[in-house]
Chains A and B, each alone.
Chain A
């Protein structure tokens, strides 16, 4: 099945130790997104890639970076995780052509990040 796959499902890291979360997709969608969702809160968009163009949300901390080496893969790098970064991280994809896109986003299962 065409999917959005996130690895790992659960990630534990130490305070301040860099961590990378990965996302891959078989949908050939040109837009990929990273969201952060904390307990009982709405998913919050961190950034997205429109093809190779990176778009950062204004309130995304510098501690969060992303890489998209090709259409299928996108990575979320947290350079120095703090306790407040413990959350579910969701990857999503959608197709946008030219102008507007009303096509829904497809989400991966998420990676739950814990900070020790």
Chain B
């Protein structure tokens, strides 16, 4: 079983739609959590950190459920420019930041 599991998609949605991605992680000692965005053939870029209380950044909302070891990302009012792969990332944090990446969920937003 992979340490970080995501539905690979692709999720095909029209512009303006709301889409949600889910992620589960298996290591209960994980310390911090992130969503990264990766465009085709580019490097991962931090989208947002994920906090236990839930957090929002514009059209993006992230949630963390430590008891269920579950992380989510909600994108409202999808834009064409949101098309990318979204990587769920868990930090084991053993004194430095050791990130474990999910394989990503691909999002395609169409006109």
Q: Which residues in A have some Cβ–Cβ distance to B below 8 Å?
A: 31, 40-45, 48, 50, 88, 90, 94, 96, 99-105, 107-110, 112
**A112–B98 alpha-carbon span in the complex (Å):** 23
- Choose among A41, A105, A108 the residue that contacts B103 (Cβ–Cβ < 8 A): A41
A18 CB → nearest B CB, Å: 24
When distances are taken between beta carbons in the complex, the residues of chain B under 8 Å from A101 are: 93, 95-97
Contact B95 A104 (CB under 8 A): no
Q: Which residues in B have some Cβ–Cβ distance to A below 8 Å?
A: 4, 31-32, 34, 41-46, 49, 87, 91, 93, 95-104
When distances are taken between beta carbons in the complex, the residues of chain A under 8 Å from B98 are: 45, 48
15 new A-B contacts at CB < 8 Å, known A104-B46, A110-B43 = A42-B87, A42-B102, A42-B103, A43-B99, A43-B101, A45-B99, A50-B95, A94-B97, A99-B95, A101-B93, A101-B96, A102-B32, A104-B97, A109-B42, A112-B41
Q: Given A42-B87, A43-B101, verify A100-B41 contact (CB < 8 Å).
A: no
B110 CB → nearest A CB, Å: 21
**A110–B49 alpha-carbon span in the complex (Å):** 22
Interface of A is mostly: loop
When distances are taken between beta carbons in the complex, the residues of chain B under 8 Å from A102 are: 31-32, 49, 91, 93, 97
In the complex, residue of chain B having the shortest beta-carbon distance to the beta carbon of A96: B96
Contact A105 B43 (CB under 8 A): no
- Choose among A90, A100, A103, A107 the residue that contacts B95 (Cβ–Cβ < 8 A): A100
Contact B103 A96 (CB under 8 A): no
**A25–B104 alpha-carbon span in the complex (Å):** 26
**A14–B101 alpha-carbon span in the complex (Å):** 30
**A100–B29 alpha-carbon span in the complex (Å):** 13
Contact B102 A96 (CB under 8 A): no
When distances are taken between beta carbons in the complex, the residues of chain A under 8 Å from B104 are: 42
Contact B43 A108 (CB under 8 A): yes
When distances are taken between beta carbons in the complex, the residues of chain B under 8 Å from A112 are: 41
**A27–B40 alpha-carbon span in the complex (Å):** 26
In the complex, residue of chain A having the shortest beta-carbon distance to the beta carbon of B101: A42
Q: Given A88-B41, A110-B43, verify A40-B97 contact (CB < 8 Å).
A: no
